[in-house]
A and B are shown apart, each in its own frame.
Chain A
Amino acid sequence: MKINARIAYTGALFLVVLCGAGLMKPTPRTLKVPEGWPAPNKNLFSKNPLTEEGFQLGRKLFHDGNLSKDGYVSCASCHQQFAGFSTFDHDVSHGVNNTFTTRNAPTLANMAWHSAFHWDGGVNHIEVQAVSPITAHNEMGETLENVIAKLNADSSYPPLFKAAFGNETINSQRLLKALAQYTGSLVSANSKYDKVKRGEAIFSNVEQKGYEIFKAHCATCHKEPLFTDLTYRNNGLPLNRFNDVGRMAITGKKEDSLKFKVPTLRNIQVSYPYMHDGSIFSIPQVIDHYSGGIQKDQYTLDPVLKNGIAITQRQKYELMYFLFTLTDSTFLKDPAYGMPTY
């Protein structure tokens, strides 16, 4: 054989070895930051580079019932896309064996701007969030060991892990990082409100009036453009039947009693019921709570709610029509976020 052929052979061999060693890189994916928005949490993907393959793996895992003990409960069971990734029409969600959770499944949108997760902010990184629902007895009720065994036994997964992470090893870290790539990529920024902000649409008269009311009474906590300021506040709901004290259970501080994370209002039209325990069913009832239902004897009640929110019956509906403009039907129907076929 000639020298040239030998070089070609060596080159080809090198390529095979490189592929075998998993040095072929997955395709980078970028998180699209809507114009004018603050920068997302920089720690989110700092040790978990966002890739097309990682996102697609996370998307499949998110919709896979095998992550639960009985094979029926997937992440998507309680985080339904059409309900803004909350549980449609349920105050609390269902876990395995007909159990119930004790809180309303929060919507998932723009999680890349969050730095703490759950209603009480107890989870401090998006990657470790999923351990909680997977292992909780009243959610998916499974162990990470079993999940990994089931994924290894499902022939569709090892190639997906290889594509995302370089080899077929399935471990808890990769499982969690893939899920985080999916959930961290859920960006909702194409509602009528967003289109108005971009100059692509205009509010109706009623919506515009509602927006003014919103800015006057709601925007401190439900800060634009995320429609949450990501803080923990007591909004004057009574202590519920689960004795859920919220943030206090995490910090151990009594001044955090009954404080919960301010939820985003994006996709609020489809994510009823509302509040951390799903105790309020409709938007007008939520507004009634703020105008006349606040428990004013609670010493941790948020100062901005001390006097309630004075609002007329007419303004209540104007506000509601503004809130409807936060419905992002592109996001709610985007097949790229939906149940995959692979």
Chain B
Amino acid sequence: MKPCIASFGILLLVVLSVLNTTGQTHGTLKFTLIHTANGKPVELNTTTYNTPNGEEYTIKKLRYYFSNFKFPGNPTLEDADNYQLIDQARSTSFSIPVLPGKYTHIEWLLGIDSLRHCSGAQEGALDPMNDMFWTWNTGYVVFKLDGTSTSSTADRNRIEHHIGGFRFGQNVSTPLSFELPNDRPLEITAGKTTEITLHLNLDRYWKSKETILIARESVCTVPDALARKIASNFPYLFEIEDIKVHEN
């Protein structure tokens, strides 16, 4: 059936060329997250750390959302790329397409915008199956830190920090903003991958703007004043460790 094969071939070419025209104009920005506590890399369950406040703890879960990436003059992110879940147990890196350019200012949200909190059933990073979703009071946990501590007075010495809240007066999602020097901007090149290494220092989670004591504040699972107090340390958690362009 030669004509059939021929027409299928033509169709395939058409489909491929359509696919090919998308994506070519973008570069890739790969985020790699390094998590440390007490100067040591974060390992779940096995390692004991000390907070800067002198309290011992282990970590069972460490998850948080990044969203609403903003690169000046680059409004073209696909919806799915604009919401990322970082999970120490599953994935601590992700890539997003970014228009080529030299960026000296980048920002995004640690958390999720309020509009998306009110938009019904979501998929991908925002799928309620990711165990970052409150069912009884709609909303996402935007930062989750579970563990144990001898300082905790809660059941089984647990630490359960499920930090969320998006309504007026309850919002914990925090813009993270980074200025880069003019001579060393974030450079995105079409067809290439630029990798940005971000360091999350959990010491600052326990002590930066506010001091969070496990003995006093081991459990936070509702969008209350304690959640906002903990979130007031969010702007201090991350710093850029390295930026490099891969020749791929």
Do the two chains belong together in a single complex? yes
A residues contacting B by CB (< 8 A) are 1, 5-6, 9-10, 13-14, 17, 43, 47-48, 118, 122-128, 131-132, 135-136, 143-145, 148, 171-173, 176-177, 180, 249-252
Interface contact A131-B3, CB-CB below 8 Å: no
Interface residues of B in 219-238 (CB under 8 A from A): 222-224
Smallest CB-CB separation from A48: which chain B residue? B120
Asked, given contacts A9-B4, A125-B138, A128-B128, whether A14 binds B11 with beta carbons under 8 Å apart, the answer is yes
Q: How far is the CA of A124 from the CA of B114 in the complex (A)?
A: 12
Contact present for A144 and B120 (CB under 8 Å): no
Are B128 and A144 in contact, CB atoms less than 8 angstroms apart?
A: yes
A173 in contact with B138 (CB, 8 Å): no
Does B223 lie within 8 Å of A252, measured CB to CB?
yes
Chain B residue with the shortest CB-CB distance to A2: B3
CB of A88 to closest CB in B, whole Å: 25
> B121 touches which one: A14, A127, A136, A252 (CB < 8 A)?
A127
Tell me the chain B residues, 132-173 only, with Cβ under 8 Å from chain A: 133, 135-138, 167, 170
- B7 in contact (CB, < 8 A): yes
Within 8 A of A (CB), among B1-19: 3-4, 7-8, 10-11
Q: Are B7 and A131 in contact (CB under 8 A)?
A: no
Give B132 Cβ to nearest chain A Cβ, in Å. 12
* Among B11, B120, B128, B135, residue most surrounded by chain A Cβ atoms (within 10 Å): B120
A13 touches B4 (CB 8 A): yes
Q: Is the CB of B3 within 8 A of A9?
A: yes
- The listed residue (B3, B121, B222) touching A173 by CB distance below 8 A is B121
Residues of B near A145 (CB, < 8 A) are 129
A124-B138, A128-B128, A128-B138 known; A172 vs B123 contact (CB < 8 Å): yes
Which residues of the partner chain A approach B11 to less than 8 Å between Cβ atoms? 10, 13-14, 17
Interface SS of chain B: loop
Q: Which residues of B contact A10 (CB under 8 A)?
A: 7, 10-11
What distance in Å separates the Cβ of B94 from its nearest Cβ neighbour in chain A?
A: 20
Contact of A252 (CB < 8 Å), options: B8, B118, B128, B224 = B224
A-B complex: 10 closest residue pairs judged by Cβ atoms: A127-B120, A176-B121, A127-B121, A132-B135, A125-B120, A10-B7, A122-B137, A173-B123, A124-B138, A173-B121
Please determine whether B137 and A126 come into contact, CB atoms closer than 8 angstroms.
no
- Give the number of residues in B that approach A within 8 Å (Cβ atoms): 26
On whether the beta carbons of A125 and B7 are closer than 8 Å, the reply is: no
What A residues does B4 contact at CB under 8 A?
Answer: 9, 13
- In the complex, the answer to whether B121 meets A6 with C-beta atoms within 8 Å is no
B102 at the interface (CB under 8 A from A): no
A47–B116 Cα gap in the complex (Å)?
Answer: 12
Indicate the member of B3, B121, B135, B170 with the most A CB atoms within 10 Å.
Answer: B121
Is the pair B133, A131 in contact by a Cβ cutoff of 8 Å?
yes
Contacts of A6 in B (CB 8 A): 3, 7
CA distance A104 to B127 in the complex (A): 29
A9-B3, A43-B118, A128-B133 given; 11 more Cβ-contact pairs under 8 Å = A47-B119, A124-B138, A125-B120, A127-B121, A144-B128, A171-B123, A172-B121, A173-B127, A177-B120, A251-B167, A252-B170
Q: Which chain B residues lie closer than 8 Å to A128 at the CB level? A: 120-121, 128, 133, 135, 138
Report which of B7, B117, B123 forms a contact with A124, defined as CB distance below 8 A: B117
Contact A125 B122 (CB under 8 A): no
Distance between Cα atoms of A122 and B139 in the complex (Å) = 9
How distant is the Cα of A17 from the Cα of B15 in the complex, in angstroms? 11
Distance between A106 CB and nearest chain B CB, rounded to angstroms: 15
The interface residues of chain B lying within 8 Å CB-to-CB of A252 are 170, 222-224
Quote the shortest CB–CB distance from B130 to chain A (angstroms). Answer: 10
A132 to nearest B CB, angstroms?
4
B95 to chain A, nearest CB (A): 22
